[in-house]
Structure 1
């Protein structure tokens, strides 16, 4: 469906909706490799003004609950309002994407907190964000080519490969709600996009990923997650996944949290809370500056980092605490002189302290990478490609190189944009990925003939004069199985009632027997109306699973009547 729309498109546009930062890129069909990104995301003002290729994933709502600003503009406007004490009723939301990764029982009603701790349903925030990026993109495109219509654009929306089926559907639904035509929309897996981009780069990179039979691991380290895919180049030039996608919550925001925890201990919770309320510009400057320091942190080049923490924060700390800052520093569990003040608004921090903030997420990542590389299936993999904003950190690169002995670790230039640029290329040629490894066993809830030798008595039911067994897991594909992108599995059955209800299940078990087994999860269901004129035993229905693409699609069709229906996710009903 999307491939036809893609072939007719004049240009492909990709959105990278990140935990910390978001952005877009595009290229025209007549020159697909000339990929353009927005160059003008500005943060802050005056001496602290920053220019970025992506903007902050932040949304500002006005007192009526309507969209006002996105990105750095949202943060800066909220800070100005707060300075004049005019921010009451305004709501700022930041870094809310992680709700889709952390929530095992995701629904459209899932909530996130704003900057002041008040909750709101998350879905409208995703819709507003995508709508803003889409409108910003449209303006950028029309400055280049006059007469480009909305119907000329094919959209790609990147998602982590480790995301669940329902999280992907959440993003698709948000994009559709934002006005994107579902026929001109494709979801792309982030590590695969990075791989697609890497094959366009210099000879060193091409030598690792572009030759027939090359196997390599792509580690996409973003703000929230580490997203890992293992790929192989097939003789026809396409990519196949050779291990199911994996990863975890080991992104850069956890380093930020450790830094803020230290500031909390140094200046006091009251002072930091007050800074957020009364000197919000200073607060954003503190967090933005640390983001820059975090990405450039390198133990080879420096023995300490110097961060500006704002004089107002020190004044607030003195106001709320009887202890001096020097006394607070002394009470921290760090060696003497590891943290010292320089003037009134700067902290000098030893690299050993900074390294401790990186320790937990990077330790967990490396532990996972080692266990992956020890698996027999991928023992011949000798190349790791590191991308993503957090992957740009020289210290992270150093840790991975040191810990993964014998591995070739490659970091492409502009690693933070590799996913975004690769997503554009993927949009021009979606068939570049030809097969993937299943993360689950998928099937439906069905009946089989009762056999007293192998079926428990309590599962026995009488249907149309025949003893059957209920809750049987009818497997369509098994976990770890390789499936082609266009692969379909169809099974036929006879309807036994006016409405056929097909319940779709998944499990990480390879050989489940019953849908009631531990670990089996109801993913969604399909309701199809059958004919009441034709006898049921003269009708045929078929369930079709369409596997291998970035999203799972399941449909039921009555072959006799021609009617068909598609799966509705259980959590979004």
Structure 2
């Protein structure tokens, strides 16, 4: 590992060349392969090994009968080459299995494999074996499928309809203090009323299916003071499904939601219903004064 670290830092072009060599080989190695796999090794890596370990590559590999050193090339027997895919395939299968346990994907009948690694016959066979009841779809040029999809989405965001929320989205808000539930250090008294600061007001739950243009679960907010002319709601995302406070470890500040409330008639009784509209490249915000139905100017500010 020490030799590879030095090689990666000091000989970047040769390191990338070696990576490309493996990139090509992973498409050639198949479950039924019998032939040896030949990999060209950059000369500078051989020199780095000599400098760091004081041994030649041939000396290092001499005890392993499945690896043969020939000139500037390593020749691996078929089983050794195939073993390189075992751990990566296992982790991918475990990840997919975890996704299938989520309620949002119940009833899924097909797996679409995209990305460079999806072109590997070894990974394809591992996926098909692990999920025999699934239809496994591998498009032509799977390696550039993600790029093509990104370009299409850039021109037409409506090309992707339902999405699965990667995070739980919500706002930092003050809610009535709950004795014996909320921590004392979050207690705040405003106009004689006890509030809990930094409560997570959830709008979208992680794993929730969101249709194109759908407005998230709406929440109602009030100003804390009678002369307050705007509400600033800090937006947070969380990896937790049901976060309680925005200062929890897995919560991340995203930006501010600013709601204009310049009409101060009604004081603290003014109510604004806020929802987030997902689906496009941005998060659009919809804010409506509850009493009148008036649409309030609200914008999502990620620059702070």
Partner of 2:164: 437
Deviation at 1:392, TM superposition (A): 0.6
- State the alpha-carbon separation in 2 of the partners of residues 455 and 313 from structure 1: 59
1:338-349 alignment, distance < 5 Å: 338-342=66-70, 344-349=71-76
Partner of 1:327: 59
2:207 aligns to what SS in structure 1?
coil
Deviation at 1:459, TM superposition (A): 4.9
2:84 aligns to what SS in structure 1?
helix
**Aligned residue pair count:** 298
1:370 aligns to what SS in structure 2?
helix
1:480 aligns to what SS in structure 2?
coil
Summarize deviations over 1:318-343 as a string: whole Å, max 9, x none: 67765344321125xx4x1x11122x
User: Aligned to 1:568, which of 277, 301, 304?
Assistant: 301
- State the alpha-carbon separation in 1 of the partners of residues 183 and 36 from structure 2: 67
- State the alpha-carbon separation in 1 of the partners of residues 100 and 127 from structure 2: 13
- State the alpha-carbon separation in 1 of the partners of residues 241 and 10 from structure 2: 53
User: Aligned to 2:19, which of 261, 269, 287?
Assistant: 287
User: 1:275 touches 1:313 (CA, 8 Å); kept in 2?
Assistant: no
Q: 1:273–1:362: structure 2 CA closer, same or farther, 3 Å change rule?
A: closer
Partner of 1:159: none
Partner of 1:308: 40
1:439 aligns to what SS in structure 2?
coil
Partner of 1:405: 132
Partner of 1:544: 275
- State the alpha-carbon separation in 2 of the partners of residues 475 and 437 from structure 1: 16
User: Aligned to 2:29, which of 285, 297, 300?
Assistant: 297
1:329-478 alignment, distance < 5 Å: 329-331=61-63, 334=64, 336=65, 338-342=66-70, 344-373=71-100, 378=105, 380-426=107-153, 429-449=156-176, 459-478=186-205
User: 1:556 touches 1:566 (CA, 8 Å); kept in 2?
Assistant: no
Deviation at 1:514, TM superposition (A): 4.2
Summarize deviations over 1:87-139 as a string: whole Å, max 9, x none: xxxxxxxxxxxxxxxxxxxxxxxxxxxxxxxxxxxxxxxxxxxxxxxxxxxxx
1:2-151 alignment, distance < 5 Å: none
- State the alpha-carbon separation in 1 of the partners of residues 272 and 112 from structure 2: 46
Task: Name which one, 1 or 2, has greater alpha-carbon Rg.
Answer: 2
- State the alpha-carbon separation in 2 of the partners of residues 274 and 435 from structure 1: 43
- State the alpha-carbon separation in 1 of the partners of residues 108 and 127 from structure 2: 15
Q: 1:386–1:341: structure 2 CA closer, same or farther, 3 Å change rule?
A: same
Partner of 1:276: 11
Deviation at 1:447, TM superposition (A): 3.3
Partner of 1:83: none
User: TM-score normalized by structure 2?
Assistant: 0.75
- State the alpha-carbon separation in 2 of the partners of residues 479 and 312 from structure 1: 48
2:87 aligns to what SS in structure 1?
helix
User: 1:295 touches 1:389 (CA, 8 Å); kept in 2?
Assistant: no
Deviation at 1:527, TM superposition (A): 4.3
1:488 aligns to what SS in structure 2?
coil
- State the alpha-carbon separation in 2 of the partners of residues 448 and 290 from structure 1: 56
Summarize deviations over 1:27-75 as a string: whole Å, max 9, x none: xxxxxxxxxxxxxxxxxxxxxxxxxxxxxxxxxxxxxxxxxxxxxxxxx
Deviation at 1:364, TM superposition (A): 0.6
- State the alpha-carbon separation in 1 of the partners of residues 284 and 202 from structure 2: 15
1:243-262 alignment, distance < 5 Å: none
Partner of 1:94: none
Summarize deviations over 1:236-287 as a string: whole Å, max 9, x none: xxxxxxxxxxxxxxxxxxxxxxxxx59x47xxx77x479828xx5x555443
1:419 aligns to what SS in structure 2?
helix
User: 1:505 touches 1:515 (CA, 8 Å); kept in 2?
Assistant: yes
Q: 1:289–1:454: structure 2 CA closer, same or farther, 3 Å change rule?
A: closer
Q: Which structure 2 segments of 5+ residues have no match? A: none
User: TM-score normalized by structure 1?
Assistant: 0.43
1:486 aligns to what SS in structure 2?
coil
- State the alpha-carbon separation in 2 of the partners of residues 325 and 456 from structure 1: 61
Q: 1:274–1:526: structure 2 CA closer, same or farther, 3 Å change rule?
A: closer
User: Aligned to 1:507, which of 221, 227, 238?
Assistant: 238
Deviation at 1:365, TM superposition (A): 0.6
RMSD: 4.0
1:549-560 alignment, distance < 5 Å: 549=280, 551-554=282-285
- State the alpha-carbon separation in 2 of the partners of residues 319 and 507 from structure 1: 47
Q: 1:440–1:536: structure 2 CA closer, same or farther, 3 Å change rule?
A: same
Deviation at 1:502, TM superposition (A): 0.9
Partner of 1:487: 214
Q: 1:476–1:322: structure 2 CA closer, same or farther, 3 Å change rule?
A: closer
